[in-house]
Amino acid sequence: MGRAGSRGQFGFYFGVVLFLMGILLDVGYMGGGLVVGAQSLQEAVPGLPVQAWIVIFAVPAVALAVWGYNLIHAVQPYLVVIMTGVFFAMVGLIIASGDHLASGMGGLHLASLPIFLVVTGLFFMNQLSWAIYVSDYSRYLPRNTSAPKIFTAVAVGSTVSTVAYCALGAWVAAIAPTAASPVTVIASVAGKWVLWFSALSLFAGAGMNAYTGMLSWEAIRSTWQQVKLSRTARVVGVLLISAIALVLALLGWRSFVNSFSNFLDVLLFVFVPWSLINLVDFYLVQHERYDVAAFFNPRGEYGGFRWVAVIPYLVAVGAELLFVDQTDLKGPLVNALGGADISWIVGGVVAAVGYLIAVRITGHGTQLRAEQSAEVTG
């Protein structure tokens, strides 16, 4: 379930809120990719400032997004093979540089529960953030494509790669905990050649963020203007999303790590309740069947605002405020938990349970007629 599909849970107009959240996600990830890609290129070819490299790096990423869906699909399989080889090469080179192995290593003990929850939350948000992309890039697969195979490919691919690179990042941070950036450490240990491949992988990701953000923008526009997506509209949308990401990257590159971490915290805060309601409705309430045509009609099956989902979502966000611990926002119950931020856990549970209770009380969402329904495959 993705952008348009969220209207099946929240209604035609409240879906706009979720589309805006999707744009926030895409812009943030694209901006982050531009910063790290630019830092990699500056380390590989000194001379130009990071800001210049950010602009240069943005050009092929935007070009990939403008070219569109088919090219993104064509590029990604090759990058998987290339980056898998690069990953193992980096690990081998770090191991070979034995002098670096003991530096900064503090063992495998748990530093603290709050830190563990922060790291777990970041990992969880990284996985959750792919929900929108999966729906956008799987909806055009043939109808007879195996759903279990799609699920396995996405789950295994995202989980294995995330765990592998998070482990590598932790290792690099332990090698040089005071380094200016992970890019500097990787270049010094594995060699500057790695930086070119780092930039290569990030350019493709930034392009996909721009394209996917454009889809959210068009979903918002379609709420009030029912028109077919034209090439011009697609290009304008890509340029709009890319421009916002570029400006944010240029303004925030100096404090990228902290800014990006805070950004993920905000996403975790707002996306978890949405995701839980989405999944509960899809699997436990509607049993994977929806009136797809009604997604695009404010007077259809799901109405303009589907309060049976909107109210539990807002209640869940309110519950999260009690337990959140972010840079500019701290809940009243955080200190009682030793500084642990469990807001995303609370939000997910409250959203899921609250939605099930609301559906049971109102009786909404369980009796869609078979002739009106259609399986949602994306």
Handedness of CA 351, 354, 357, 358 (dihedral sign): negative
The pLDDT tens digits for 144-195 are 888 888 888 888 888 888 888 888 877 777 776 666 666 777 777 777 888 8
Please report which residue ranges of 45-112 form alpha helices under DSSP H: 50-67, 69-96
CATH number, domain with residue 250: 1.10.4160.10
Q: Is the dihedral of CA 317, 212, 158, 256 positive or negative?
A: negative
Region of 340 please: left (phi>0), alpha (psi -120 to 50) or beta: beta
* pLDDT score for 378: 39
Residue 25 half-sphere exposure toward CB, CA atoms < 13 A? 29
Low-confidence ranges of the chain (pLDDT < 50): 1, 102-104, 366-378
Instruction: Please name which of 311, 359, 254, 283 lies closest in space to residue 39, comparing C-alpha atoms.
Output: 254
Tokens of 118: 């922060």
Instruction: Provide the 10 A C-beta neighbour count for residue 13.
Output: 16
Alpha carbons within 13 A on the beta-carbon side of 263 = 23
Answer for the pair 309, 277: CB distance below 8 angstroms, yes or no: yes
Domains identified in the chain, total number: 1
The residue count of the chain comes to: 378
* pLDDT score, position 120: 81
pTM for the model stands at: 0.80
Contact assessment for residue 273 and residue 350, using Cβ atoms and an 8 Å cutoff: yes
Alpha-carbon gap, residue 20 to 219, rounded angstroms: 10
Give the list of residues 6+ apart from residue 156 with CB closer than 8 angstroms, or none: none
Q: Hey, which bits of the chain come out as E strands?
A: 289-290, 325-326, 329-330, 374-375
- pLDDT tens-digit map of 203-224: 888 998 999 899 889 888 888 8
Containing domain of residue 140, as a range? 4-375
242 to 246, 251, 262: CA distances (angstroms)? 6, 14, 21
Amino acid 371: pLDDT: 41
Closest CA to 11 of 297, 370, 228, 227: 297
Q: State the pLDDT at residue 307.
A: 93
Tell me the C-alpha distance between 199 and 302, whole Å: 44
* Owner of token pair 């780092």: 198
